Amino acid sequence: MLLNLIIRGATVVKIIAHRGFSGIAPENTMAAFERAIAIKADGIECDVHLSKDGKIVICHDTTLMRTTNGSGSIQDYTWDELQAFDAGSWFSPEFSKERIPSLERLLKLVRKTDLLLNIELKTETIFYPQIEEKVVALLKKFDLVDHSLISSFNFQSLSKVKVLLPELATAALIKYPQEVINFWEQMSALKVNAIHPCYLGLTTDIMDKAEKRGFQINTWTPDQPEEISHLLKLQTHGIITNFPEKAQQILRQEKGVNSETSRD
């Protein structure tokens, strides 16, 4: 399983492109995913919903207004209807041909690479019938189970995924673990492989507790150099960022400094 390669203390922290390379292209579009692959990011994170006719579609919000020229909820449109909306011009006119992609299209792209694919199920506020089953079926179809990680703020969704396919890696999304009662016991009960906390609350104590219990930590969403450098010092397993290329550069610089220090 590719996830097992993300080891605390390893020489390379995994850099995961948040909604693709969303710092330079419209988030959760093929343009953003292709740019993440072009810079050789270690992974891609995306968000999924279901269309009215049950197609798995990639978008962060439950509604269309922020990232397309449409309005209303994704679940109220069929796949064909969703394809009428421009998903790129809000970011820049050069992306006016971008459309909301299907998860299947992204999987066809990713299967040609060694990327880790982090799929977030957006089920915390909307019930999507059998979305877990549909995602698992697609990952099996494209032989990407060993290269995928399912995350969600909805712990019931994560539990369901583990029942459907125990070997599929899962991650609990949480803003600040230290604010949740019996957090670590909950994580153990869920049998998650990783925890995805907000970088603002990540501490050495959380890293130590996660390591003691066998959980990996992939944190979101640092974009500033000083934030990324701090997380590298904490030895987080993965950094989920809108600017993966910047994170790669900082990682190379940090490795260079450490190499020089070790020779002194």
pLDDT in tens, 195-206: 999 999 999 999
- Provide the pLDDT for residue 260: 46
Q: Which of 156, 9, 140 is CA-nearest to residue 148?
A: 140
Could you say which of 49, 60, 230, 237 is catalytic?
A: 60
Domain encompassing residue 249: 2-263
Residue type, 107: L
- Residue 13, domain CATH: 3.20.20.190
- Provide the pLDDT for residue 78: 99
What is the C-alpha to C-alpha distance for residues 68 and 88, in angstroms, rounded to an integer? 7
Q: State the Cα angle at 15 between 12 and 20, rounded to 5°.
A: 160
CA distances from 180 to 127, 175, 176, 186, 252 (A): 24, 10, 7, 9, 35
pTM: 0.94
- Provide the pLDDT for residue 262: 42
pLDDT < 50 positions in the chain: 1-2, 5-11, 259-264
Structure tokens at 262: 């070790």
> Are 118 and 171 within 8 A, CB to CB?
yes
- Provide the pLDDT for residue 264: 43
Active site residue 18: yes
- Provide the pLDDT for residue 4: 52
CB contact set of 119 (below 8 Å; sequence gap of 6+): 45, 46, 47, 48, 103, 135, 148, 149, 150, 151
Total domains present in the chain: 1
- Provide the pLDDT for residue 165: 98
CB contact set of 233 (below 8 Å; sequence gap of 6+): none
